[in-house]
């Protein structure tokens, strides 16, 4: 019980900081790939501190509520992951945040916010089934949906579920809205979308959303780490390689349409899942 | 005491209905309805306190039931002849012949089977029917008043309307308490007839057409039910549900002879629960006044369908048939969730989501493990509350804004803040943790663990579900900052909305208690094991853990904090939305300044993804596949 509480507090405090650092590194590597110098590693934190100091402005009071519920959902799902709770439960709590983010966007009549909200729903429609399938596959191997059961495995999940790891990667690219799936919102303003779901959030509320995003980065990388649960070094290497791959994909691809995203996510997700399951049965 | 309770829950509604039919005084009707609602709710609670029971009323009632059976069948036959509907005519003739054979030649000693028996499953059902159903009846008072004013009727049709509404409640209570399957058959047919009359209540052409469709589909189900019990009498030699539940598994394991009647009964349940390919009767039923839809969708009718499927689940546990039921349920769950995502008509979204959730319940019955049955029972309970709430909200909204299209509900919060908030609570309790629906869905998905095909369909289906609920909730919030003035509403409309919203939240909070005292005992009785332990009130099993109280606490605190932050926002901190054009606000509604200085209001719409979720295109395929699964179920599973 005590360890769980310590882990929970660690998750609450350390996760966003780590997430900020990773985002900072992401920006540096992206800059390097684009032959720029790039901002300091701590820039995301400076950005958020500056946002927090600004006067709150909204177009609709519900947006303030939605921004805060979004961060609560994101933080709580990281806490659940760190305390070894249930994978599906983590997923559902994550959905709470995602749903409120969209509701906040839909609450504003701005066309960019509206289209961002609608597209974010499509992103959710694409990644949610994939995540559930990945969790179900993990449960096939460990016999339980509990995160703690993963750590009782004697060999890394990646051996049994290599294809599911690809499915997870696909889902995570959509979840983190990395290119080519930065359909509902992009890291920087683009003219056809402005900032999609984020368009109407500003000041401290945007800061909340940024911090929530850091939590989500950690959650996502934590889920990746589960695939090499047997050693800490293995986890770090797997996560680092995966994130590096994400950054490269982010930089070399252009935004795709939501139709392509939906069809490819469902099609590829189902095929890879079925093949992986057959392989698991054959073993 | 027990006699009185059964009398109050089953027979009293029949008597009250008869009084309401002849009564034309509006205020007296109001008093009688509210009093009946209160009495029913109290009686159901008292019955719950009393626990399981078996009861046989006087033999006279057996004769009455038989008589009632024939009366209903002849009424249906008459309707068939009047409407010149061959299907209804021949199916009711088949039922009359079947019933004569069963009643006079097969069942030798009438009256030696207890008519009623109740375990916790029946008691939960009685609770749902008597409380949620009664609330809907009360809501009907205020709703029908406005409804008839709107229609400019010269002569009120309310006596008929409430006659069938209250009759419906009694019939449903009888159905879920029945032990003798002949009795259950009577109540089953009662609900078919009531729904037919209620769907056709407004007597427009479309209402008549849809009522007729509902009738033939349900008469088909009724025929399956009757032939199912005839075969059961032949195979098991009894019509006592209790005895069938006790001895059924032997027959199922031995040779599968019992699976044909099981198929027929489950099929009857599927027609009543409007599963594909019979979904069109329920989507057609929305032409009726809203209380009817609310009643059909939440606490009665469709719940009778899933009740019989869940009720009989222990009998067919562990058979191939059961696997097919699970597959069928999972498929319809996914398919109708897709149909819901393609709709902008609020009532139709609700209708398809009902079918989808019922399919999930059926899938759980098919998975047939203790955890899955727990999920099924909890889904029945939580779905009844939240779906009734949603329908009543849409009804109230429709009467105010004159549309049931969700696109017209944009910014509803400015017009009717209270109803909008209640509707949002309804939506949240349908799809998000820590509420009961989601928890039951969690149980369902985890109990499908290991059956990958099921898993895939459930995963895809729940993704689609979030899509259509979330955008509905979001667009109702889209208002300018100005404080909305609370709308006026009849107390008989408002009270049921508030009570149901409260129930949706409170019952979810006490879900561990509900599980422990109502669900676990019945699951243990039929499956010899309870699926979850409850450390600190969290649902724990080797397969997974659902944290009820920590989530309620943390999400609740978080929500409270968020609300406080939102309250801090002052009017001065409100700005105009970013439109990327020259902006002009007229009457507090933002828009663009167009050419020649004209105001162009901003307009937006949801994605309905016609190419993926178009109703006409999808329905055809869904019906074909569902029918194919049903045929395979009969021949591959039952034979």
The answer on pLDDT for B637 being more than 60 is no
Residue-level pLDDT at A109: 84
Name which of A106, A113, A196, A198 to mutate to probe chain B: the one with the most chain B Cβ atoms within 10 A of its Cβ: A106
Residues of A in contact with B569 (CB under 8 A): 56, 58, 61, 64
The answer on pLDDT for B239 being more than 70 is yes
Q: B139 exposed, middle or buried (CB, 10 Å; 0-12, 13-18, 19+)? A: buried
Question: Which residues 467-526 of B are in CB contact (within 8 Å) with A?
Answer: 467, 470-471, 473-475, 477-481
pLDDT (average), residues A92-111 = 91
The answer to the question of residue B609 being in a domain is no
The answer on pLDDT for B256 being more than 80 is no
From residue B387, alpha-carbon distances to A106, B83, B361, B417, B492 in Å are 23, 33, 14, 20, 18
- Whether chain B has a CB inside 8 Å of the CB on A139: the answer is yes
Strand order, beta sheet including B599-601:
B583-586, B589-593, B599-601
3-state secondary structure B419-457: HHHHHHHHHHHHHCCCCHHHHHHHHHHHHCCCCHHHHHH
The answer to the question of residue B373 being in a domain is yes
Give the closest of A64, A110, A140 to B569, CB-based.
A64
Q: What is the pLDDT of residues B409-435, one digit of tens each?
A: 988 888 898 999 999 999 999 999 899
Instruction: Identify whether residues B26 and B160 lie together within a single domain.
Output: yes
- Whether chain B has a CB inside 8 Å of the CB on A173: the answer is no
The shortest C-alpha distance from B448 to chain A (Å) reads 9
Instruction: Identify whether residues B340 and B221 lie together within a single domain.
Output: no
Residue of A nearest to B561 (CA): A68
Domain end (from B313, B341, B373):
B313
The shortest C-alpha distance from A264 to chain B (Å) reads 14
Residues of A in contact with B479 (CB under 8 A): 60, 107
Read off the pLDDT band of B110 (50, 70, 90): low
CB contact under 8 A, B558 and A108: no
For residue B51, the tally of other CB atoms under 10 A from its CB is: 11
Read off the pLDDT band of A88 (50, 70, 90): very high
C-alpha closest to that of B626 among B290, B278, B246: B278
Question: Which residues 240-269 of A are in CB contact (within 8 Å) with B?
Answer: 262, 266
pLDDT (average), residues B323-331 = 94
- Whether chain A has a CB inside 8 Å of the CB on B421: the answer is no
Segment among A132-141, B215-224, B488-497, B563-572 with least mean pLDDT: B563-572
The answer to the question of residue B597 being in a domain is no
CB contact under 8 A, B561 and A140: no
pLDDT (average), residues B481-490 = 77
pLDDT (average), residues A123-145 = 93
Q: What is the pLDDT of residues B271-323, one digit of tens each?
A: 999 998 999 999 999 999 999 999 999 888 999 999 999 999 999 888 888 99
Give the closest of A112, A144, A200 to B542, CB-based.
A144
- Whether chain B has a CB inside 8 Å of the CB on A12: the answer is no
The answer to the question of residue B539 being in a domain is no
Instruction: Identify whether residues B325 and B474 lie together within a single domain.
Output: yes
In this structure, are residues B75 and B96 in contact, taking their beta carbons and an 8 Å threshold?
no
The answer to the question of residue B616 being in a domain is no
- Whether chain B has a CB inside 8 Å of the CB on A77: the answer is no
The answer on pLDDT for B454 being more than 60 is yes
The answer on pLDDT for A111 being more than 90 is no
Residue-level pLDDT at B4: 86
- Whether chain A has a CB inside 8 Å of the CB on B558: the answer is yes
The answer on pLDDT for B6 being more than 80 is yes
The answer on pLDDT for A245 being more than 70 is yes
The shortest C-alpha distance from A254 to chain B (Å) reads 23
The answer to the question of residue B538 being in a domain is no
pLDDT (average), residues B500-522 = 94
Residue-level pLDDT at B254: 63
Q: What is the pLDDT of residues B375-384, one digit of tens each?
A: 999 999 999 9
Count interface pairs A-B at CB distance under 8 A: 218
Q: How far apart are CA B446 and CA B450, in angstroms?
A: 9
Give the closest of A68, A89, A107 to B547, CB-based.
A89
Q: What is the pLDDT of residues A199-217, one digit of tens each?
A: 889 899 999 999 999 999 9
Residue-level pLDDT at B482: 57
CB contact under 8 A, A108 and B577: yes
Read off the pLDDT band of A83 (50, 70, 90): very high
Residue of B nearest to A195 (CA): B578
Residues of B in contact with A113 (CB under 8 A): 577-578
Instruction: Identify whether residues B330 and B299 lie together within a single domain.
Output: no
Read off the pLDDT band of A58 (50, 70, 90): confident
The answer on pLDDT for A125 being more than 70 is yes
The answer to the question of residue B560 being in a domain is no
pLDDT (average), residues A111-123 = 92
Mean per-residue pLDDT of chain B: 90
For chain A, the domains span: 2-282
Mean per-residue pLDDT of chain A: 92
Q: A252 exposed, middle or buried (CB, 10 Å; 0-12, 13-18, 19+)? A: exposed
Domain end (from B279, B313, B347):
B313
CB contact under 8 A, B452 and A109: no
Q: How far apart are CA A258 and CA A238, in angstroms?
A: 29
Domain end (from B277, B295, B313):
B313
pLDDT (average), residues B52-72 = 89
Instruction: Identify whether residues B226 and B366 lie together within a single domain.
Output: no
The answer on pLDDT for B10 being more than 60 is yes
Domain holding B445, by residue range, is: 317-530+624-639
Residue-level pLDDT at B508: 95
Segment among B174-183, B266-275, B506-515, B614-623 with least mean pLDDT: B614-623
Instruction: Identify whether residues B183 and B330 lie together within a single domain.
Output: no
ipTM here: 0.94
Residue-level pLDDT at B573: 80
User: What's the structural domain count of chain B?
Assistant: 2
Residue-level pLDDT at B255: 62
The answer to the question of residue B553 being in a domain is no
The answer on pLDDT for B191 being more than 90 is yes
Residues of B in contact with A257 (CB under 8 A): none
Residue-level pLDDT at B351: 94
Give the closest of A69, A125, A277 to B463, CB-based.
A125
Residue-level pLDDT at B143: 93
Residue-level pLDDT at B111: 66
Residues of B in contact with A104 (CB under 8 A): 474
């Amino acid at each position: 019980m005590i360890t769980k509480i310590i882990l929970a507090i660690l998750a609450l405090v350390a996760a966003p900081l780590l997430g900020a650092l990773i985002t900072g590194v992401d920006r540096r590597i992206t800059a390097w790939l684009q032959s720029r110098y790039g901002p300091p590693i701590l820039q995301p934190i400076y950005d958020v501190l500056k946002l927090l100091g600004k006067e709150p402005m909204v177009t609709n009071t519900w947006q303030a509520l939605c921004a805060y519920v979004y961060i609560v959902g994101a933080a709580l799902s990281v806490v659940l992951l760190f305390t070894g709770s249930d994978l599906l439960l983590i997923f559902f709590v994550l959905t709470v945040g995602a749903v409120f983010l969209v509701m906040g966007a839909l609450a504003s009549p701005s066309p960019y916010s509206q289209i961002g909200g609608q597209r974010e729903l499509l992103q959710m429609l694409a990644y949610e089934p994939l995540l559930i399938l990945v969790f179900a596959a993990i449960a096939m191997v460990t016999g339980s949906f509990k995160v703690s059961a993963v750590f009782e495995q004697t060999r890394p999940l990646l051996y049994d579920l290599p294809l599911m790891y690809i499915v997870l990667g696909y889902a995570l690219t959509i979840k983190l809205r990395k290119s080519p799936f930065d359909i509902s919102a992009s890291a920087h303003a683009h003219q056809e979308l402005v900032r999609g779901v984020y368009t109407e959030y500003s000041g401290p509320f945007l800061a909340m959303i940024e911090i929530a995003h850091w939590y989500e980065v950690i959650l996502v990388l934590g889920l990746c780490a589960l695939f090499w649960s047997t050693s800490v070094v293995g986890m770090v290497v797997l996560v680092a390689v995966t994130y590096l791959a994400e950054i490269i994909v982010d930089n070399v691809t252009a935004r795709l349409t939501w139709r392509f995203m939906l069809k490819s996510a469902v099609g590829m997700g189902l095929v890879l899942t079925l093949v992986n399951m057959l392989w698991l049965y054959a073993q | 005491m027990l006699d009185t309770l059964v009398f109050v829950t089953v027979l009293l509604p029949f008597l009250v209905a008869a009084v309401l039919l002849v009564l034309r005084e509006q205020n007296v009707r109001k008093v009688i309805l509210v009093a009946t609602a209160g009495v029913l709710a109290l009686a159901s609670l008292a019955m719950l306190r009393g626990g399981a029971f078996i009861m046989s009323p006087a033999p006279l009632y057996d004769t009455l039931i038989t008589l009632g059976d024939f009366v209903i069948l002849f009424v249906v036959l008459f309707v068939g002849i009047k409407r010149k509907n061959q299907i209804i005519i021949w199916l009711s003739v088949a039922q009359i012949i079947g019933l004569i054979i069963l009643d006079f030649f097969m069942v030798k000693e009438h009256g030696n089977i207890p008519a009623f028996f109740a375990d916790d499953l029946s008691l939960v059902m009685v609770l749902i029917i008597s409380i949620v159903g009664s609330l809907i009846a009360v809501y009907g008072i205020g709703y029908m008043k406005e409804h008839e004013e709107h229609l400019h009727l010269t002569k009120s049709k309310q006596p008929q309307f409430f006659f069938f509404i209250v009759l419906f409640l009694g019939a449903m209570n009888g159905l879920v308490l029945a032990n003798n399957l002949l009795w259950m058959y009577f109540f089953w047919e009662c609900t078919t007839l009531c729904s037919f009359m209620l769907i056709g209540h407004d007597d427009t052409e479309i209402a008549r057409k849809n009522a007729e469709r509902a009738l033939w589909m349900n008469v088909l189900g009724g025929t399956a039910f009757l032939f199912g019990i005839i075969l059961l009498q032949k195979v098991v030699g009894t019509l006592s549900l209790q005895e069938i539940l006790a001895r059924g598994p032997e027959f199922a394991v031995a040779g599968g002879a019992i699976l044909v009647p099981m198929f027929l009964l489950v099929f009857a349940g599927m027609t009543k629960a409007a599963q594909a390919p019979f979904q069109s009767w329920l989507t057609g039923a929305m032409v009726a006044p809203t209380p009817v839809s609310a009643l059909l969708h939440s606490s009665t009718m469709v719940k009778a369908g899933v009740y019989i499927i869940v009720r009989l689940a222990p009998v067919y546990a562990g058979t191939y048939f059961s696997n097919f039921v699970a597959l069928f349920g999972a498929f319809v769950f996914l398919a109708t969730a897709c149909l819901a995502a393609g709709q902008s008509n609020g009532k139709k979204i609700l209708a398809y989501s009902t079918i989808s959730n019922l399919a999930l319940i059926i899938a759980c019955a098919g998975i047939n493990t203790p955890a899955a049955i727990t999920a099924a029972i909890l889904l029945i309970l939580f779905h009844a509350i939240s779906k009734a709430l949603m329908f009543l909200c849409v009804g109230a909204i429709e009467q105010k804004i004159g549309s049931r299209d969700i696109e017209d509900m944009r910014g509803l919060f400015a017009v009717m803040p209270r109803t909008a908030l209640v509707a949002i609570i309804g939506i949240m309790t349908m799809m998000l943790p820590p509420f009961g629906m989601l928890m039951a869905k969690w149980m369902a998905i985890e109990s499908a663990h290991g059956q990958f095909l099921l898993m895939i369909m459930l995963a895809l289906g729940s993704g689609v579900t979030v899509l259509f609920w979330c955008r509905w909730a979001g667009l109702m919030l889209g208002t300018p900052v100005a404080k909305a003035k609370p709308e006026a509403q009849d107390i008989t409309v408002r009270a049921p909305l508030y009570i149901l919203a409260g129930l949706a939240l409170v019952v979810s909070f006490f879900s561990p208690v509900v599980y422990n005292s109502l669900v676990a005992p019945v699951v243990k009785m039929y499956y010899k094991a309870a699926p979850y332990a409850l450390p600190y009130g969290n649902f724990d099993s080797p397969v997974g853990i659902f944290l009820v109280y920590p989530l309620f606490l943390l999400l609740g605190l978080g929500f409270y904090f968020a609300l406080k932050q939102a309250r801090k926002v002052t009017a001065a901190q409100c700005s105009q939305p970013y439109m990327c054009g020259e902006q002009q606000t007229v009457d507090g509604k933002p828009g663009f300044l167009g050419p020649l200085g004209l105001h162009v209001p901003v307009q937006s719409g949801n994605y309905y993804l016609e190419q993926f979720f178009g109703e006409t295109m999808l329905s055809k395929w869904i019906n074909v596949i569902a029918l194919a699964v049903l045929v395979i179920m009969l021949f591959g599973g039952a034979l």
